[in-house]
Amino acid sequence: MHYHREGYRIIIVSSLLIIIADIGIFYLLDNYPIIKFILAIGLMAFLILIIQFFRVPHRIPTQLEDGIISPADGKVVVIEEVEETEYFNDRRIQVSIFMSPLNVHANYYPVEGEVSYFKYHPGKYLVAWHPKSSTENERSTIVVKKKNGVEVLFRQIAGAVARRIVCYAKEGEEVGQAEEVGFIKFGSRIDLLLPIDSEILVELDQNVQGRITAIAKLKTTV
């Protein structure tokens, strides 16, 4: 396991602030040992939570030539047919994965191919499970086109706590399945918009792992 580069600055600054706070607690609350102990333990627990948020476990990725692997850790909260209006303008199957602050928050490409579309959208910060979060929250939309012509769209969506989406996608670049695409800080959601004839391999409320869990199977041609 290692820690994501997006967290280095936050971890360092948080560590320094908590060390300073602990020193202040030690001197200012010298006559209140129980309160001092509780505050010190609470601050250390908070630092541990911050550090673990940026963890990236070592995993051997699943490779599925005609399949979709999970782009993130989390829970499947939506499986439904929707009208996709940003890129395809047709019916798609939406599979949404909610990431709590306790999940790993690195994001991965669900398929291999060429990035045929990328767009960042500023927006609101509704709770990530809100139905309108897919279209109104801050988000990044990425479309990957496989060699056989099948295209898969997925979105990184900020939530009420998440305030920064990091996305490394660039139009025209070739990407591999399970390669890292970005990171969302402190709780969020990812939507997959799949061809309507895709075979969905997960269920609602199922916990999935990024780079590991098979989400769907695609048709081999368009």
**CA nearest to 11, candidates 53, 56, 39:** 53
Find the catalytic residue in 96, 133, 188, 198: 188
Query: At which residue do the structure tokens 């920064």 appear?
Result: 164
- Tell me how far apart the alpha carbons of residues 147 and 132 are, in angstroms, rounded to a whole number: 32
Q: Count Cβ atoms below 10 Å from residue 95 Cβ, excluding itself.
A: 28
Q: Give residue 149's region: left, alpha or beta (phi > 0; psi -120 to 50).
A: left
Check if the beta carbon of residue 98 is closer than 8 Å to that of residue 131: no
Alpha-carbon separation of residue 94 from 24, 63, 81, 198, 217 (angstroms): 50, 21, 6, 10, 14
Choose among 222, 179, 202: nearest CA to 96.
202
188 annotated active-site: yes
Give the catalytic positions in this structure: 188
